[in-house]
Structure formats: C-alpha cells, structure tokens
Amino acid sequence: MSVVLQSNYGCVLDARSLIDQGYARCIRWRDKQKSRVKCCFKRQCFQILKSHYGTNVNVSAAVDAGNSEMMQKTAKSSKKRKRKHSELNQGEIDSQAFHEKIRSVILEGTKSLVDSARSLGFLTGDTDAEDQEDCTQLLVAENTSPVDLFSRVTESRADWAAVVTLMGEEYVIPPHTAFLLSDFTRIQPLVQYGRSFDLIVMDPPWENKSVKRSRRYGSLPSTQLKRLPIPLLASPNCLVVAWVTNRPSHLRFVRDELYPHWGVEVVAEWFWVKVTASGQFVFPLDSPHKKPYEILVLGRYRPSAGPSASSSEKPEVPVEDRRLIVSVPSALHSQKPSLSEVLKPYVGAEGKCLELFARSLQPGWTSWGNEVLKFQHTSYFTLTPADDVREDEATDDCTDKPGTT
C-alpha cells in the first residue's frame, strides 16, 4: 500500500512501496536467456531512523511543548558554524517570513497525519534489516543491437518490467514507459514524439551555494527554464507541478515569471514533509539552515483561445491548496517520492504523464533528463531469482507489513 492514508491535511506515502509497484513482474535477459526475478528497490535507502542535528524532533511533542521554543533550542544546539554578522540579509528575511506564514500548516498537519499513520502501524520506527517514427524507437529486452538513447524517445511496451543492458550497464526498465536521455540542446525528439500530456512534473536543478560547493550535479540558471517547451507538450488544463527549493527568490520566479511565461495559472502550493521512520521531522522545523519540508507549486496550463482550447476538454478537478505529503525520504541525494498516486485524482487514471529533469522512470510515464536512467541502475535494486515462485507470490518479499519501511 503506497498511499498509507489521506485526510483533509494531505496524505502519508510509503515511497519505496510506490517504486516497487512498477516491478511486481520482472524478467531479466542474460546471454539471450530469459528468467524471472523479484525486483525490489533497496530497503536501506529508506531507513532514515534519526533526524539530523543530532537530536530527534518529535512532532507531537513540538505541538504540546510550545512549538517554537523547543524547535529554536534544538536548532541552537546544533554544531553549525556561527554567522560572522548577526544581521539577516534580505533573502533570509524573506525566507523567515514565508516560513512563519506556513509554519502552523506544516506542524499541525504533520502531527495529524503522523498520529493517524501510527494508529495504522506505520511510522512506528520499526524497520526490516534488509516523424514520429523517426524520433521513437521500441525497446525490446532480448534485442542485443545498440540502442540510440540520445536522439530518439525510447519506448518499452512490455507488460512486465525488464532488466536490460544499455551502454554496457544493466538497468531495470518498468512496463509501458518511454524516455529520452538528453539535455536542453537535444530535447526536440520529445516535442516530435507527438503526445500532449495531462500532467507535467519537473524537479529543476536549482542553483544554490551548497550545490556549487558539493559539485554533486550541474545546476541551471532559473531563466534557462523558460526554454522548456511546455506549451508544445501540455494539453489544455494540463496540471503542471514544479519542485521548488525553500529559497524565496526561486518561489517568486516560478509564481511570477516562469508559470506566466508558459501560460500556466498557479492554483496551489503543497509541501513535502520529510520525517524519520518513527515520524519525527528529519530537521528541526525552525532550523535556520535546512527545513524538513520542500515546496510544490501546482498550476493549470491555460492555452489562449483557439483550436487547442476546444469544447472537448476534460472537466477540470479543483486542486486543494496547502496540502501536505508526509513520507520518509530516500537517503539518495535528490530522489523525490513519486507523485503518481497523489496526483491521479486531478488528472484521471488515463491521463498522460511526463516528468522533466527525471532521474528515474515510472510505469506508464514519459521521462526526460540527462540522468533519466540514474536510479534505474541495478545497483539500486535487490534482484533474486523467482522462477520457482508462483506469480501471485512474486511480490511478497517486496511488500512490507504494517509498521515497516
């Protein structure tokens, strides 16, 4: 069960279970021989047992003990380098003002969701040790011919997931998926793919100082995002969702420049709240350095009147504002939880979905990015032979009992 529960505050996700859904049936090709395997994303990636800053921050206790005072004391006790100047710059002032505005939403909503999840045996801290034709190509698992991943959209139409060899490495490809491995300079095949999408989710590589220092991945100037051909990819009323850092300038850019540039109307802000396996914030809520939440800006694409805005448009489902998505985050850098189940009510079960700047694939989705296969590498999965297991038992080892992660 990937969506553990839902309420007026939002929902609690089991992010790893959500990944494993796409690999319930999986085959592996080696030396032209086919075998069945159990395929599960490695459990240890989601075993976040303790919050950072050395002190666990209990959500319920924070509410009952005066909230701010407790959080501020925790933040002050952390071993972070001291500021040379006590004055806050404008960006920090803006960030603090935004945080104060949504703080009670995060705190009260998370407490309610975590308490409800615990009553179901989840977040208790228990863990397990363990032309169109020219720009499209079909991925056939048993095919040993080289595949051009960079200038064509690659499709897998199989009903099963498959472990295949690409670029000399083994990757797990989910069923009914399509992807393009490229950067901005070679995104045209995605446009030529000929699909209009009902949901577009993007996780841009935002510029910030920590990224520059760590050099973990390349960042992108905000203004470059305007080059994304959203109007050529979105269907009328397409739901556009952007992951945004807690930097106020990024949030303002998305709301005031980027979405209007594409003709997208902002309809809601959601928050992904990161908790440990026992339901505690991974960072103190009032920490001046890192917050235990990230922002999602949701908008609807509003094309100008014309042939694209026809009377055959699907009825639009209103999107609630200030919803929370509570989950244990992955220990892998920048791996976000899948939003497929959470957003399905707003786009329909048959809606066509696209992820931009993707680092993994999702069943039934189209994905684009220069690291689109990163988390599909077999090194992130546990693969065990399953030829002697009945099909209805194939997912037993990937499915957690209540209270596990």
Average pLDDT rounded to a whole number, residues 7-13: 95
324-327: strand order across its sheet: 3-7, 10-13, 324-327, 264-274, 293-301, 234-244, 197-202, 353-356, 365-369, 177-181, 153-156, 136-138
Query: What pLDDT does 193 receive?
Result: 94
Residue 178 maps to a domain: yes
Domain CATH number, residue 244 = 3.40.50.150
The DSSP bridge partners found for residue 220 are 206
Domain count, the chain: 1
Residue 326 maps to a domain: yes
How many CA atoms lie within 13 Å of 224's alpha carbon, on the beta-carbon side? 10
pLDDT more than 70, % of the chain: 78
C-alpha 270/C-alpha 239 separation (Å) is: 13
Burial of 55 (0-12, 13-18, 19+ CB in 10 A): middle
At 322, list the tokens.
Answer: 């200030």
- Asked if residue 306 has pLDDT above 60, the reply is no
At 238, list the tokens.
Answer: 């397409």
- Asked if residue 400 has pLDDT above 60, the reply is no
Please say whether the dihedral angle defined by the alpha carbons of residues 173, 376, 182 and 330, taken in this order, is positive or negative.
Answer: positive
Q: Report CA-CA distances (Å) from 26 to 166, 168, 171, 301.
A: 17, 20, 12, 36
pLDDT more than 90, % of the chain: 61
C-alpha 174/C-alpha 161 separation (Å) is: 4
- Asked if residue 395 has pLDDT above 50, the reply is no
Query: What pLDDT does 8 receive?
Result: 94
How many CA atoms lie within 13 Å of 141's alpha carbon, on the beta-carbon side? 26
Widest Cα–Cα separation across the chain? 66
Question: pLDDT band at 313, cuts 50/70/90?
Answer: low
Degrees, nearest 5: CA angle 324-375-251: 40
Query: What pLDDT does 128 receive?
Result: 53
Pair 113, 7: CB distance under 8 Å: yes
Residue 193 maps to a domain: yes
Query: What pLDDT does 61 receive?
Result: 56
Average pLDDT rounded to a whole number, residues 282-310: 84
- Asked if residue 246 has pLDDT above 80, the reply is yes
Please indicate whether residue 312 or residue 33 has the higher confidence score (pLDDT).
33
Residue 183 maps to a domain: yes
Query: What pLDDT does 344 receive?
Result: 95
Question: pLDDT band at 148, cuts 50/70/90?
Answer: confident
Average pLDDT rounded to a whole number, residues 61-80: 46
Average pLDDT rounded to a whole number, residues 351-380: 97
Average pLDDT rounded to a whole number, residues 170-174: 96
Range of the domain at 196: 3-48+124-306+317-398
Question: pLDDT band at 209, cuts 50/70/90?
Answer: low
The dihedrals phi and psi of 198, each to the nearest 5 degrees, come to: -90, -15
Average pLDDT rounded to a whole number, residues 229-238: 96
Query: What pLDDT does 91 receive?
Result: 82
Q: Give the chain's mean pLDDT.
A: 84
Residue 218 maps to a domain: yes
Residue 189 maps to a domain: yes
Question: pLDDT band at 65, cuts 50/70/90?
Answer: very low
Question: pLDDT band at 180, cuts 50/70/90?
Answer: very high
- Asked if residue 325 has pLDDT above 50, the reply is yes
At 349, list the tokens.
Answer: 């079960």
Question: pLDDT band at 389, cuts 50/70/90?
Answer: very low
Tens of pLDDT, residue by residue over 250-277, are: 999 999 999 999 999 999 999 999 999 9
Query: What pLDDT does 157 receive?
Result: 94
Query: What pLDDT does 276 receive?
Result: 96
Tens of pLDDT, residue by residue over 16-25, are: 998 998 998 8
C-alpha 372/C-alpha 367 separation (Å) is: 7
- Asked if residue 93 has pLDDT above 80, the reply is yes
Residue 116 maps to a domain: no
- Asked if residue 315 has pLDDT above 90, the reply is no
Residue 93 maps to a domain: no
